[in-house]
Every structure is written in structure tokens, then in C-alpha cells.
Amino acid sequence: MTSLAFERTPLADAELVRLYSQMTQVRHLDTSAIAWQRQGIVPGYAPMRGQEAAQVGAVAALDMSRDFLFPTYREMGAALAAGVDMGEYMATHKATWNGGMYDARATRVTPIQTVIGGSALHAVGWGHGQRLDALAADADAPLDLPVALVFLGDGATSQGDVHEAMNFAGVFETPTVFFVQNNGWAISVPTERQVSGGSVAARGAGYGIAAVRVDGNDIEEVVQATRAAVAHARSGAGPVVVEAMTYRRGPHSTSDDPGRYRSLEEERNDGGPDPLDVARERLLSRGAFSTADVADVQSAAEALEERVRADVQAQGPRPGAEMFEYVYQEMPVSLREQAAAWREESDHV
Amino acid sequence: MSNAVAAPPAHAPESGAARTGRTSLSMNQAINAALHDALAADPRAVVLGEDVGVLGGVFRVTDGLQAEFGADRVFDTPLAESGILGMSVGLAMAGYHPIPEVQFDGFVYPAINQLVTQIARMNFRTRGALPMPITLRMPSFGGIQSPELHSESLEWLFAHVAGLKVVSPSSPHQAYHLLRHAASRPDPVVYMEPKSRYWQKGEVDFDEPGNLEGVDVAREGRHLTLVAWGAMVTRCLQAAEAAAEDGLDVEVLDLRWLSPIDADGLAASIAKTRRAVVVHEAPKTAGLGAEVAQLITERCFGTLKAPVERVTGFDVPFPSGSLENEYIPNIDRILYGIQRVLEYRRG
């Protein structure tokens, strides 16, 4: 295996402060989203508590003015870090619109992906497109490619599409970062019953692509490793697997009952250090942060949560006509007729 | 195996020059010409698939394209259909117009996930922000005695998936123009090539594409309409010739677009003949013939002289080559279908 080397030097204080703030916002929003589900504000939600460092850290390594992000349904932290409007993000969980209401082209974040593994191939194809663009523009210039970062879970790597994606990426040397959050669980099945061999990063060797395993609870390590991965891909050296070892501290979704497959004691013991604690302690010990700063960050997160909740609560059903409007770029006559019939036969005139 | 026999590639014009006039081409040459011209006309068009490059495809449909447009525009992929279609999704997101090939219809099954959950839905899920201008080419249907899963008739499946459009040409002229048309549209199109007709020659008129959206009347008639698509159009034309010997004037309607179906064009033909037989290679149950019959019923019930008949494959897996002629509608079975309609008596 080409093991990807990366600097373990600390991040600048200001950057760590910024990332800690994002993590805090995500933690608060994520915790609140579960409460919203209990309160009937949203029908369902897939919590990501414990994965804040992995998600915020991965996106911090990207240049969102030219890179592209391919999330699944458990990437609220990544979406927030990428600048997606959180009300528009929550639209999927609110059941307002499948995939979210944010503009996937403008935000450079693909719609929330339900089919795990499906988007790994999209990231490869998009990356290949960047490579073709660069070669068409100047075949002799050193490559400086936009990079696709695709989020996968350990469960997703059981999907055949992820194998095909890694194989294609290796063959075409696409600028793709496969960012695997190994959070220990695929719904009720632990990693050892999900990932044969126990390591996703180790699979990189089989595809001839670089790989690295990092502590997904340590945001500095995540950022530095992902930066190295992005730089590798950007230079045209090919894809990278980053496996961030973390822990899904909550249930798979608000419909899940983790008590059926693990105990609270296991959750406490297996989760490792809380990524927020790690970052906060580091800032405090460096003297870059005071307890007052911690409180300020928390207040800002609470203010954001209030805004997002109001947005989500205000979301009513979309106009029914949109159901017909967005199926095609060019709506067929037959569908136009169905839309007309719907309009006539319903109250939505 | 006959499918390995290559026809010579169509004569390609100078890159960028538009074709004019009329030429006789086989269907695989016409498709080759369409791919060539699509690549020449659209710098964002790319052809990808298994063996499409140096080899030029197992049917030589992509012959010469890599030599002319380079390995960046026409490229071989690893042997993985989901990979081909999933990669096409990403290329489309990057602003390309992928024209992927799945080497045989039965090999699309491993890629159905990408086709149904991704390609068909991406425009919808992104509210139009990430359209999928993908033209999926696929040698389709039976009739060449090929091994298992090399002969399937999957139009029923594709046509039922919201977000996809489906078209099948029946002649070299249509093959050229429908592919050019499909490849220039912003929505995903499944383009089903009747592989048993690859070597069928016909005149392609480059100046007059004709109507590219709806049905096409392949043969005018007064007494009854045979509705077919793809390879079955030729067979229906042969059946119509046979029926003519008995004094029957049979119209053959080439549906062409299997999604969306041109219901008005369909109804116009049936309104004239007042009798219809739908012919397809796919199994009968829940096949597209049922949809066509229902569209006819909705629009022509009052004027129909008999219920719409179906002559189809059977509800069995597409059989091996030795039984293919028993399975695929042949002229006799089509004539029986015609007879059933003509002899129908009310009550």
C-alpha cells in the first residue's frame, strides 16, 4: 500500500477556533434535530453525534470554490462546513423535498444520497471530467485539479459500487478522495461483521491507490491528513482513501433502537474521546481560548439552531406542480397531461 | 458466432463537416456515423464502455471513433456496468454529455441501481440543478442466437421508470437521426439498438430527418394496424406483405419512442384502421403491449371493431438460441394475431 504521509503539526489557533465553532454548531443542531423529531417538527433524522471532527475536518481541507462534495444522509456537519443553508439541508428530513432544497450546483454539494455507495462512482466520474478539462485546456501544464470528496461509511464499503469506484478511480487516476467515516456501526452491525479484514484503508493497496487511517475524533489529524489527500489528488497523482476512525454515538436514525444491539456502557467505552472535548481542551491548554470564549461559541450555536428551527418549521409542502416540473428538463406531453389532470381533479388550482 | 462479424465502418466525413444527401448504410454504420457526428458537433460528448475504443465495440458500432477523437473522448472502461453508468453520472455533473454503451442488454441488470436510483432521479432530486444528459446505448432484443443474457427485451422496465426516456430505431435512417436527437437532449435517454438489424441496409437521408419525436408510419394501410418497435418493425412489415397476399391492407406503426409514447400518433393510426395488434419480444404480462392497448382503448374505444390483440414473447426467460424462433413473434404468429382481430365478433 502506498501509505499517504501527512504533517501532524498543529493547526493555527485561529483555524482551530473556527473549526471548533463549526463543530459546536453541528453538535447543537444535530442534537436539536433529534429533539425536533420527538416534537413532531421533522418526521425523521439520521444523527451524526461523534462524527463532527471527521466531517468538519474533511471539508476544511477542500477549496469549495472549485472542489465538489458528495455526501450521504449523515453529513450534516459536512454540509454546514461547506456552507449549505441548514434549513435547505433539513428539507430532506422535514420531507419537504428528496435530496434537500439547496442548489447542488451553486453549493457544489450533491443532493443528500440515500443509496450508500452510489455516489462513489459519481465522484469518480466528476473527477475524471476535471482531468479531461485540464488536459483539453493544456495537456502539458502540471495538473492542478479540482477534487471530488465522497463521504462513505464502513457499511457503504460493502457495496459493489464502492469497489467499482475505487477500481475505476485507480485505473483512471481520478482526483477523488474516498473519505470513509468508520463509525463502528452499520445500523446494527459492527465493523467486524461489515468490513472483512477490518480496515477500509488497507483496501487501497489492492487498487494501487494511496490510503491513510486517521483518528477521526481528532480534528487536527483529520484536517492534515485530508489536506495531504487533496494535494495528492489535485496534483494528478490519483485517488486516496482516508479512513477516519470514529464512533456513531447515537442511533442510526430516529427509528433505530441501539439498545437491541449494544449497551450504554459499550457506547461510553467504545466511543473514545469526544471530538469536541479534544478540540476544546487543546484550545484551552494552548491559551487560545478562555471559558468565556467557549460560552460565546455555544451561544452562537444556539442562535443558529433557533434560526434553522424557525426555517424548518416554516417549510410547508412544496407546490404540487413541482412534482411534475422537475422530473425532466423537457417535460413530455404525457406528463403534461397528467399534471393538467391533477390540477383539474384536485384543489390545488 | 455471427455477432462477431464486423461490418465496415461508415464512411466518415471530414471532422466537423456536416453530412448531406442520401447514402445507403447498414444500421451499425448509421449508428457509427451518428456517434461520429455527435462527437464532432459537441466537444463535451464522450463515448465510454467496454471495448468501445481500440476494438470499436463487439458489433464495431464504435469503430474508428477512438482513432479520430482520441482516448480522452472515446475510452474503454473496466468491465463493470454499474461503474460505466455511475461514472457517466459524475461526468454529466461535470458538464459532459456521456454516451455510455452497455455491451449487451442483459448486462444492464447489474447497473439498474445507477440507472433507476441515480440517472433517472438526479434532475428531480436537485430540482433541475444537475441534469443528466446521458444517452445510454445498448444492443437490444434477440434474434442472433447469442448466449444467455445477450438477448433481452427490457423496454417495459425502462419505460416504467420516471425520469428516463426510451427510444428504439427500426431502420438506418432512424438509427442515425434518433441517436443524434437523443444525444443532443438534456434528459437521459435509453437508446435500444435492435442488434438483429445491425446489418440491415437502408437509405439514410441526412438532409431530411423527418419528425423525430413521435410515431412513424412504416407502411400505410386501411384494415388493421400492427404496432411495433425495434426489430419487430421489420418483421411486421414482412407480415403485412404476407397479409397483402390475402387482400388485407395492413398498416405498420413504428412506435419508436417507448417513453414517452406518442399516444396521439398511435390513436391517429388506429382511428383510421379501427383494429390493432401490438407485437413485441418481451414477455406478455405487464409488457408495453398492455400499455399500448390501454392507450388505444382510452382514445379509440368507441370506434374499435375488436379488442386490441397482443403477439409477444412468453412469460419465460428469453430462451437460448435454439428456441429463439419459438419465442420471438414470427410471421405466422403475427398473422394469427391479425386473424383473431378480424374474426372477433361482439357478444
CB pairs under 8 A between A and B: 146
Please give the Cα distance from B167 to A127 (Å, whole number).
Answer: 30
Identify whether residues B233 and B163 lie together within a single domain.
Answer: no
**Residue B43 shares a structural domain with residue B176:** yes
Whether A14 has its CB under 8 Å from any CB of chain B: the answer is: no
The predicted pLDDT at position B13 comes to 56
pTM, rounded to two decimals: 0.95
Does B17 fall in a domain?
Answer: no
**B37 and B79 share one domain:** yes
Contact check, Cβ <8 Å, A132/B122? no
Give the A window 157-176 contacts with B, CB below 8 Å.
160-161, 164-165, 167-168, 171
pLDDT in tens, A74-97: 999 999 999 999 999 999 999 999
In a shared domain, residues B201 and B220: no
Please, are residues A148 and A121 in contact by the beta-carbon 8 Å criterion? Answer: no
User: Does B13 reside within a domain?
Assistant: no
| A207 and chain B in contact, CB less than 8 A | no
B306 within a domain of the structure (yes/no): yes
**Which chain B residues have a beta carbon less than 8 Å from that of A330?**
185-187
B175 with B221, same domain?
no
Restricting to A residues 219-278, those with a Cβ less than 8 Å away from any Cβ of B are none
pLDDT attached to residue A1: 47
Could you tell me what percent of chain B has a pLDDT over 70?
95
- In terms of domains, do B181 and B294 share one? no
What pLDDT does B346 receive? Answer: 81
Options B150, B177, B181, B223, the catalytic residue = B150
Tell me the pLDDT tens digit for each residue of B145-189: 999 999 999 999 999 999 999 999 999 999 999 999 999 999 999
The answer to whether residue B192 is domain-embedded is yes
In DSSP terms, A242 is beta-bridged to: A179, A212
Instruction: Identify the closest residue of chain A to B72 by CA–CA distance.
Output: A132
Please name the residues in contact with A316: beta carbons below 8 A apart, sequence gap of 6 or more. Answer: none
What is the reported pLDDT for B17?
66
Taking an 8 Å cut-off on Cβ atoms, the answer to whether B87 and A105 are in contact is: no
ipTM: 0.96
Q: Give the CB-side neighbour count of residue A251, counting CA atoms within 13 A.
A: 14
The region, left, alpha or beta by phi > 0 then psi within -120 to 50, assigned to residue A199 is beta
Say whether residue A338 is in contact with chain B using an 8 A CB cutoff: no
- pLDDT tops 70 at residue B329: yes
Half-sphere exposure for A159 (CA within 13 Å, toward CB): 23
Sequence length of chain A is 349
The residue out of B157, B176, B205 marking a domain boundary is B205
- Taking CB atoms and an 8 Å limit, are A161 and B118 in contact across chains? no
Which of A130, A168, A322 is opposite residue B94, by nearest beta carbon?
A130
pLDDT of residue B73: 98
Flag whether B19 is in a domain.
no
CB of A296 within 8 Å of a chain B CB? The answer is no
pLDDT beyond 60 at B1: no
**Active site (annotated) includes residue B223:** no
Query: Quick one: three-class SS letters along B138-198?
Result: EEECCCCCCCCCCCCCCHHHHHCCCCCEEECCCCHHHHHHHHHHHHCCCCCEEEEEEHHHC
B100 and B135 fall within a common domain: yes
Chain A interface test: which of B124, B255, B264, B298 (most A C-beta within 10 Å)? B124
- For residues B140 and B252, state if they share a domain: no
Domain's final residue, options B173, B205, B237: B205
Tell me the shortest Cα–Cα distance from A76 to chain B, in angstroms.
17
Q: Which of A3, A233, A241 is nearest to A128 (CA)?
A: A233
B192 and B223, same domain (yes or no): no
Residues of B in contact with A332 (CB under 8 A): 165, 259-260
Among residues A198, A135, A196, A200, the alpha carbon closest in space to that of A165 is found at A200
CB-closest option in A98, A133, A164 to B82: A164
Residue type, A274: D
- pLDDT-wise least confident of A144-148, B18-22, B113-117: B18-22
Long-range contacts for B200-203 (Cβ within 8 Å, ≥24 apart)?
B200/B26, B200/B27, B200/B171, B200/B172, B200/B234, B201/B24, B201/B25, B201/B26, B201/B172, B202/B24, B202/B25, B202/B26, B202/B27, B202/B30, B202/B171, B202/B172, B202/B173, B203/B22, B203/B23, B203/B24, B203/B172, B203/B173
The predicted-structure confidence for A272-289, as pLDDT tens digits, reads as follows: 999 999 999 999 999 999
Per-residue pLDDT for A236 more than 60?
yes
Mean of per-residue pLDDT scores for chain A: 96
Domain span at B180? 25-205
Distances (CA, A) of B135 to A164, B10, B183, B191: 21, 21, 6, 7
A250/A337 Cα distance (integer angstroms): 46
Number of domains in chain B: 2
Residues B189 and B66 in one domain: yes
Distance CA B76, CA B71 (A): 8
Full 3-state SS string of B39-74:
HHHCCCEEEEECCCCCCCCCCCCCCCHHHHHCCCCE
**CATH code of the domain containing B152:** 3.40.50.970
**In terms of CA atoms, which chain A residue is nearest residue B115?**
A118
pLDDT, position A347: 75
Find cell 480522452 and name the residue. B72
Cβ pair B90:A332 closer than 8 A: no
Task: Give contacts of A322 with chain B, Cβ < 8 Å.
Answer: 127
pLDDT of residue A261: 94
Contact B345, B295 (CB under 8 A): no
Q: How far is CA A109 from CA A78, A151, A301, B133, B181, in A?
A: 9, 11, 22, 19, 31
- Comparing alpha-carbon positions, the chain B residue that sits nearest to A111 is B126
User: What chain B residue is nearest to A170 in terms of C-alpha separation?
Assistant: B78
Is pLDDT above 80 for B4?
A: no
Residue B233 sits in a domain of what CATH number?
A: 3.40.50.920
Residue B82: its chain A contacts at CB < 8 A? 121, 160-161, 164
B60 inside domain: yes
> Cell digits for B79?
468491465
- Note whether A162 and B86 are within 8 A (CB): no
Task: Note whether residue B293 is domain-resident.
Answer: yes
Q: Mean pLDDT, to the nearest integer, of B195-218?
A: 97
Residue B291 has pLDDT above 70, yes or no: yes
A68 reaches B (C-beta below 8 A): yes
**Residue A148 to residue B90, Cβ atoms within 8 A:** yes
Is there a domain that residue B267 lies in? Answer: yes
Instruction: Determine whether the interchain pair B131/A329 forms a contact, defined as Cβ–Cβ distance below 8 Å.
Output: yes
Task: For residue A102, give how far its alpha carbon lies from the nearest alpha carbon of chain B (Å).
Answer: 8
Which of B156, B173, B205 corresponds to the end of one domain?
B205
Of B113, B76, B79, B92, give the one whose Cα is nearest residue A117: B113
Q: B14 pLDDT exceeds 70?
A: no
Same domain, yes or no: B73 and B118: yes
- Of B3, B52, B61, B4, which is closest to residue B27 (Cα–Cα)? B61
The answer to whether A7 touches A214, Cβ cutoff 8 Å, is: no
Q: Between the CA of residue B105 and those of B166, B227, B252, B340, what are the distances in Å?
A: 13, 22, 25, 32
Distance from C-alpha of B239 to C-alpha of B278, rounded to nearest angstrom: 13
The pLDDT score that the predictor gives to residue B7 is 42
Which residues of chain A have a CB within 8 Å of the CB of B95? 129
Phi, psi of A139 (to 5 degrees): -65, -20
Using the beta-carbon criterion (under 8 Å), do A106 and B129 form an inter-chain contact? yes
Per-residue pLDDT at A294 exceeds 80: yes
Q: Looking at the structure, do residues B113 and B223 belong to the same domain, yes or no?
A: no
**Percent of the residues in chain A that have a pLDDT greater than 90, as a whole number:** 95
Contact A168 B93 (CB under 8 A): no
**Mean pLDDT within B121-133:** 98
Cα distance between residue B270 and residue B292, in whole Å? 11
